[in-house]
Every structure is written in structure tokens, then in C-alpha cells.
Amino acid sequence: MQRNCSKFALLIVNFVLLTQFGCMAPKIEFEKVAHDFGEIGPVRTNTTEYKYTNTGFGILNVKYVETCCGVTAKQNRKLLLPGETGSVEVEYLPRKTLGSDNKSFYVISNDKENPRMELTLKANIIAKVAWEPKSFKLLLEGENTKSPKIILTSLDNVPFSITDFKSSFNCLTFDIDSSVKATEFVIEPKVNTENIRENVRGYVHIILTHPDWNRVSIPFDVLTRFTINPPQIMVHNAEPNEPVIKYMAIQSIFGQDFEIESVSSQNNFVKLLRQRKVGYNHQFELEITPPAIEGKKQIFTDVIYVKIKDGEKIEIPCHGLYAIKD
């Protein structure tokens, strides 16, 4: 019995020595070193497996897997005798940008010929849901302001639901029913005119249950019916109680006729001197009287209100900077 144990121990020592000095080196050999996921969406995590075998004559020690962004890996065995097999299980989370994507990661082992074995994967990230419009503009016409319809379509015919609808500053709203599943939705948002007047640019965000496309974001701009030139009135080197003449014009950007009901200002620093209409353009000559300086203030402000007949009230900011005294 003692003689058999001694022989077994001697065999192990010889095996370790032979492995250490390369006479019985391990060798890692993969069934595949590359994987192509094909066309996928940017949401779902994708998995694959890279199987390998120790085709050498020593003990293979798979130390760890060196991964990259978007790739996680787990090895199911660390030490393999000659002829034994193992695998690396890989999870790949695609990037959000559409197009081809290529990743490399590495298996670190005691294989002296391939101590850092490179494995690769690739995918073509495509849209799984289409939407129209890609962006849109709202014409601000008071209570008559309307949003265009938003059409969502499943490109792979997988039904989905809408679970949330949000817009910047709550300018647009839509009553959703998350229990409804379909391959196409036609959304008609309602416009919150009170909020939209103060914000001229934003996004609509729609949350979906499609397994490969869970969010649609659509930018929008708000167009008023008019352009204002200049968009704000500036007075430089102002003197207290010394009137300054400035000019301003308001024009319909859609070639529509309109009338001015009144022109006023918040702090009464601005007075309308003359007004004339040229086509769809209204021109104004304004007298701005800077107020007396209060304390150490070097600026004054006002807001010009132009009320459109049977329409909105346009606000034009007015700023003044007093002359610097020695």
C-alpha cells in the first residue's frame, strides 16, 4: 500500500515538472473564435457561448476573461485536464447607435503559445420600430394650435404597447391605454397652449414594450406666426430721463394679413411714436426713456407688449445699460 502511494506521488511530481518545463504543455483550442449576431435591435441583451478544449498534455488554467464595453463574460471551468472541455458564456448589450458594431475580448490562460486568446463578435444594429414624423414644427395659433399625428410601426411585426407619453414642459399630452397591443399606432397629441407659449423647443418621448425597441424620441419646434426684428431692444450708454429712439418690425412668416390692436410696455419706459404697415410687415418707431438710476444699478429693463387683433400678445424684452461716469 505504501509503495503504491509513493508511486502515485512520484507520478504527480513528474507530471507537474514536465508541465512546468514545457514538455507537457496545455493548449487551448476554441470551436469558434468569432460570432455574428446578425441584425438585432439596440435594447435586448444577446448571448452566445465560445466552447474550448484543452488539446495539450498539461493542465490548462483559464485565469480570467478580459472584456470590453458592452460585453460581459463568465467562464464555467478554471482548470482542465488534457481532453476536457469548457466554455465562456458571453452577454452582449448593443450600443444605441444604429449600424455595424465589432467587439474584441480576450481569454487569459497558461497556454504559452496563446496566453491572450482574442475572441470577437459583431452585430448589425437596426431599428425595429419606425415613426413619422422624425421631427415636427408647431404653429402657435392660440387655441387653434394643433400637433401633427405621430405614427409608430413595428418593422418586424412584433406587437407592442405604449406605456408612457411625455413631452418637454408638458407641452403635448396623450391619453394612453397600455393594455392595447398592436403593430401600428396613430397618436394625436393634444397641445397645452398655456405651457407651449413659454417654450419654443423640446422633445416628445414615447415609451414602448417592444422587446427590441423601447423608446422613441421626437424633437419639435414651436413657430409663432411672426418674426420680430430685432428680437430684443438694447439701449447702450443710456442717460436718465434722456429719450432714445429705436425701431422695430413685426412680420407674418406665413404671408397672412394681421392688425395691431395695441402697443404698451410693462414699466412704461417705452412709448409708441409712429406705426406703419407695409404688406404683411408692421414697422414701429419707439421712444425709450431711461428711468432715474436707483442706487448702484447700472441697468434698466422693460417688456414691450404688442397685442395682435383677435390673436396673441407678443412680448419683446427691452434692456438698457447706463453710461459709465468717471
In angstroms, rounded to a whole number, what is the distance separating the alpha carbons of residues 132 and 138? Answer: 15
| Beta-strand pair 34-40/71-75 | unpaired
- State the total domains in the chain: 3
In angstroms, rounded to a whole number, what is the distance separating the alpha carbons of residues 133 and 152? Answer: 9
**Which set of grid coordinates corresponds to residue 253?**
412668416
pLDDT one-digit tens code per residue, 21-67: 455 799 999 999 999 999 999 999 999 999 999 999 999 999 999 99
Whether the per-residue pLDDT at 257 is higher than 70: the answer is: yes
In angstroms, rounded to a whole number, what is the distance separating the alpha carbons of residues 71 and 69? Answer: 6
Domain boundary among 125, 143, 163: 125
Shared domain for 197 and 283, answered yes or no, is no
pTM: 0.61
pLDDT one-digit tens code per residue, 152-207: 999 999 999 999 999 998 989 999 999 999 999 999 999 987 787 655 789 999 99
Shared domain for 220 and 231, answered yes or no, is no
* Residue 53: per-residue pLDDT: 97
| Beta-strand pair 213-224/136-140 | parallel
Domain boundary among 86, 101, 125: 125
Domain boundary among 75, 105, 125: 125
Q: What is the dihedral of CA 158, 164, 168, 169, to 10 degrees?
A: 160
SS3 14: helix
- Residue 26 dihedral angles phi and psi, to the nearest 5°: -75, 160
- 55: domain CATH number is 2.60.40.10
Shared domain for 149 and 251, answered yes or no, is no
- 253: domain CATH number is 2.60.40.4140
pLDDT one-digit tens code per residue, 272-291: 999 999 988 999 999 999 99
Higher-pLDDT residue of 221 and 54 is 54
- Residue 266 dihedral angles phi and psi, to the nearest 5°: -65, -45
